[in-house]
Amino acid sequence: MNSIKITVAIALMVINTGLLAFDLETFRSLDPDELRAAEASMDEYIEAGTARLLRAPRGAAERYVAQRQQRLARQFNRRAAAATSSQGARVQPIFWPAARASRASLGADGEIVIRCQPARSMLDRSPSDSRTRRLPARPVR
């Protein structure tokens, strides 16, 4: 293999998760209220944990949310790349399977709780009926 081919091969091997970044242009074209509504009703059209579609998304906001969640799911579900030799060592990509995520939610007493969890929990969701009994956010007294 000549040096140019080697360079190209290495370039193709580079793991650049930036390529998987979200669609900013589409995001900016969305109506914020419709987006929030699409996120609030996600359970109706996206299966928690897998991001599998339960029905066809309706409207641009639902389509955007579905694509975002499915992109996330693909990152988690991608078959782990095998370890390869690199500069005498064995290396293996791992970011999404092992990544951590700090997630904010309302605690039972109405105070924001920021808890660090596996990033995969971003595909999970709380039961939708809990939204009906949310407390106003406030610091505990």
- Token representation of residue 93: 């990509």
Question: Alpha carbon 104 to chain centroid distance?
Answer: 15
- What character string, x for contact with another protein (CB under 8 A) and - otherwise, covers 45-64? --------------------
Length of the chain, in residues = 141
The residue within the footprint of another protein, chosen from 56, 87, 129, 133 (CB under 8 A), is 87
At 84, phi and psi to the nearest 5?
-125, 160
Least distance CB 88 / another protein (angstroms): 6
- Contact residues for 81 (Cβ-Cβ < 8 A; gap 6+): 92, 93
Residues that bind another protein (CB under 8 A): 10, 13-18, 21-22, 24, 27, 32, 36, 39, 42, 65, 68-69, 80, 82-84, 86-95, 97-106, 109-122, 124-126, 130-131, 134, 137-141
